[in-house]
Amino acid sequence: MPTGHCFPIGIAFDKSKNLWYVDDDNNIEVELTAASHYTTVGTTQGPYGSELIGIAIDSNGNHWVVDATCAGNLYENGVVVASAGDDLESIAISTSNPSHKANIYVLVSNFCGNYAFPFVGDMSDGIILPHPYNSGADDTPGISTLLYFADYAYDQVWVTQDTY
């Protein structure tokens, strides 16, 4: 990396089985190519302090990246397309919904205090999914395509449902 230091945090694979990650220290998306074993900057480069934290790649090759700022930005191919209004911790693309469309799901930690509780948000439909929380903030470092999510404060793995 240009600074000589990196902090890979969220990872995803593309169709060519190349590994992509977001680098929290340098606020960039990086590709590790299987053929050449070198890194190249990807499609997302956040402004200083954007804290890129999660990445998912859809079946069309679009790169979805989230940041851990109080805006809670969702980027599609390097462009902010939505904001959750609080710190995002991770992202997944899932068809675990009644329409079986590939929806974008994010974990909102509520570290900025803009909501009453942390939650899983369906950014495609703009809804909050059922959650175990009633107040506060929580580290929620990972979500799967089956909508299981990790909880750091309570040391639990939870599952939610998208019924809309």
pLDDT (0 to 100) of residue 82: 95
Residue scoring higher pLDDT (112 or 42): 112
Task: Provide φ and ψ at 65, rounded to 5°.
Answer: -130, 145
- Residues 117-143 have a mean pLDDT of 92
Residue 3 has pLDDT above 70, yes or no: no
Convert the pLDDT of each residue in 99-119 to its tens digit.
999 999 999 999 999 999 999
Confidence bin at 42 (pLDDT 50/70/90):
confident
Domain architecture of the chain: domains with CATH: 8-159 (2.130.10.10)
Mean pLDDT of the chain: 88
From the centroid of its chain, how far is CA 36?
27
Q: Looking at residue 5, what is its pLDDT?
A: 65
Q: Which residues make Cβ contacts (< 8 Å) with residue 66, sequence separation at least 6?
A: 10, 52, 53, 54, 55, 72, 73, 74, 75, 88, 89, 90, 91, 106
pLDDT at 63 over 80: yes
Give the separation between CA 116 and CA 121, rounded to whole angstroms.
14
Q: How far apart are CA 126 and CA 106, in angstroms?
A: 11
Q: Is 163 left (phi over 0), alpha (psi -120 to 50) or beta?
A: alpha
**In this predicted structure, what is the pLDDT of residue 47?**
72
The pLDDT assigned to 116 comes to 93
